[in-house]
Amino acid sequence: MTIDYAEKIPNNVDLASNKTLQRALEQWQPGFLGWWGEMGPDGTASTDVYLRTAVSVEPKGWAHFDYVKMQDYRWGIFLAPADAERKVNFGEHKGEPAWQEVPGEYRANLRRLIVTQGDTEPASVEQQRHLGLTCPSLYDLRNLFQVNVEEGRHLWAMVYLLHAYFGRDGREEAEALLERRSGDADNPRILGAFNERTPDWLSFFMFTYFTDRDGKYQLCSLAESGFDPLARTTRFMLTEEAHHMFVGESGVGRIIQRTCEAMAEHRMDDPPKIRAQGLIDLPTLQRYLNFHFSVTMDLFGADVSSNAATFYSTGLKGRFDETKIDDDHLLAGATYPVFEVHDGRLAVVQAPALNALNEKLRDDYVKDAVAGIERWNKIIDKCGVAFRLRAPHKAFNRKIGPLASVRVDPEGNVVSETDWAQRHASWLPSETDRAFVASLMGRVAERGKFANWIAPPSRGINNQPVDYEYVRFN
Ligand SMILES: [Fe+2]
Ligand SMILES: [Fe+2]
């Protein structure tokens, strides 16, 4: 189905035939645009950006590329195609036809899942609001803006569900999504990582690699939902999410490449010397990696969680690749290993698999995240540099769950409070690290030019050359 861009709210849900819903969303729209103007990318009202827009939900060729002013971006409502035969595939309702309406008894839980997901979308736009002022190139600036408008569209996706299926309290939640602010002391965003700052481009690339990947895993589990509109909405969001993770992986990869090429060329491996060249040394990259990895670990929630069990048993939120898993999809009597703290040590115990679903999703995520770290290591190897980046232990620097009660080093050893105080600066970015990275951030907005600390990409966007004019300032 091709999407009609003559509509005020482009959509593939036949909004025109539901006037009440259409009016409600049209009333929400000015609030959204007000929020975008206030909290979206700073100082971009007259900037033309080479952006992709969804024009269909078919896997091949859904994207259309053209210059757009971001406030005129065609934010719309797109659901992946319906499958009339689709069933609830797990939990107590396994085998029933997938729900087209919200089951009354699950209304509050479903709303909570949708609001929690929805809240992360505007949060990341707020976190990234000032990054455009220090872009390393037009290519990177365009990628930042692409991520920003798509997070805006993801907010639309969740607001559509709230308006269409949750009546008055859904509309109130949709308003509240525009009122909370990342990092605000009085009215913060719901999840911790979304209240952290994204002050520089190294943080941005780490965020899109690690934290947008959490988004992928959350969306994948919601795409299994027995509530079909949620499943179809998140299924389409995943096609956009892939680009966000690409921005992160390639961004960090290009920093590594730039640093390692210089290390090989000048035969230097001393971080102060590397910094003196205006490059980001690998130990600093490792500390940023440790920070973003550990903050993202917490997003998966408590290791053992009765909410997670309820969401699964009632068919609201499945596992990653639920239908590809060969088991009973009920998890009756099954167990799953989790960490507990015994006498100040980490111990692995078996928890009921139903209660350990957050941990299972976290482990699925870790496998995926580690694979990309290995691809970064290949770049290092190719330059002949002896250094390996690695994911810290999943108990490192945790703020949520039982692991929050102990100090754990990146290798997974419990350490004393004194040890932590003495050594954490070698594990997590220090103020000095952050100030150094900040000192490299200067705006490079000349066609085909790149900041000194990052290599150009191997190819451009949508088959355009690397030196294409991806952003035009007017
Ligand atoms: Fe998103
Ligand atoms: Fe994203």
pLDDT tens per residue across span 395-428? 999 999 899 999 999 999 999 999 999 999 999 9
**What's the distance, CA 27 to chain centroid?**
28
Which uninterrupted H or E stretch holds 169? helix 167-179
Instruction: Compute the distance from residue 14 Cα to the ligand 1 centre, in Å.
Output: 23
Q: Which ligand is nearest to the CA of 152?
A: 1
Which among 383, 367, 411 is positioned nearest to 255, based on CA atoms?
Answer: 383
C-beta of residue 448 within 8 angstroms of C-beta of residue 467: yes
Please give, one letter per residue, the 3-state secondary structure of 404-457: HHCEECCCCCEECHHHHHHHHHHCCCCHHHHHHHHHHCCCCCCCCCCCCCCCCC
Q: What is the pLDDT of residue 198?
A: 95
Q: Which ligand is nearest to the CA of 154?
A: 1
Which among 377, 399, 372 is positioned nearest to 388, based on CA atoms?
Answer: 377
Instruction: Compute the distance from residue 43 Cα to the ligand 2 centre, in Å.
Output: 22
Phi-psi group of 342: left, alpha or beta (phi > 0 → left; psi -120 to 50 → alpha; rest → beta): beta
Q: What is the pLDDT of residue 55?
A: 77
Instruction: Compute the distance from residue 454 Cα to the ligand 2 centre, in Å.
Output: 22
Q: What is the pLDDT of residue 1?
A: 53
Q: What is the pLDDT of residue 227?
A: 98
Instruction: Compute the distance from residue 456 Cα to the ligand 1 centre, in Å.
Output: 26
Instruction: Compute the distance from residue 258 Cα to the ligand 1 centre, in Å.
Output: 29
Structure tokens at 354: 């139903």
Instruction: Compute the distance from residue 407 Cα to the ligand 1 centre, in Å.
Output: 31
Q: What is the pLDDT of residue 5?
A: 72
Instruction: Compute the distance from residue 69 Cα to the ligand 1 centre, in Å.
Output: 20
- Reported as half-sphere exposure (CB side, CA atoms, 13 A), residue 71 has a value of 17
Structure tokens at 131: 């990054």
Instruction: Compute the distance from residue 419 Cα to the ligand 2 centre, in Å.
Output: 36
Q: Which ligand is nearest to the CA of 153?
A: 1
Q: 184-187 long-range CB contacts below 8 Å, 24 or more apart?
A: none
Q: What is the pLDDT of residues 337-370, one digit of tens each?
A: 999 999 888 999 999 999 999 999 999 999 999 9
Instruction: Compute the distance from residue 19 Cα to the ligand 2 centre, in Å.
Output: 31
Q: Which ligand is nearest to the CA of 246?
A: 2
Q: Which ligand is nearest to the CA of 248?
A: 2
Residues of the chain predicted below pLDDT 50? none
Q: What is the pLDDT of residue 343?
A: 87
Structure tokens at 231: 């499943």
Per-residue burial over 445-471, b = 16 or more CB atoms within 10 Å of its CB, e = otherwise: eeeeebbebbbbbeebbeeeebbbebb
pTM over 0.95: yes
Instruction: Compute the distance from residue 191 Cα to the ligand 2 centre, in Å.
Output: 15
